[in-house]
Structure 1
């Protein structure tokens, strides 16, 4: 059974390596190329300044409190 499986695998491999007559001639080949789409980022959001709230915790009067401030960042 093992010899029969090896012979079948060899025949399949040999059939895969032999070129087909239509592909060997090279006359019917077509190259399909995709067109690329260029997308532009709108300037509505990027490269602008905005205000961001930055918070941190501090100890004030023996209590932990959150202290926040507003910072301008480029977004």
Structure 2
């Protein structure tokens, strides 16, 4: 049986946002599942793998497009 592939590393980009830094942080820190609504062309969604939404230490799996 083949092993599942893993991507490990850092992804960095610049994105112009039309919101305050406080609102942006709130969305990523407490409601990451709303990111796909804010940027549907880049982020398709995310799933909570372990923990609770908005809690430190939770593990979230992101589904996104890299390099169009």
TM range (shorter): under 0.3
TM-score in terms of structure 1 length: 0.17
Whose strand fraction is larger, Structure 1's or Structure 2's?
Answer: 1
TM-score in terms of structure 2 length: 0.18
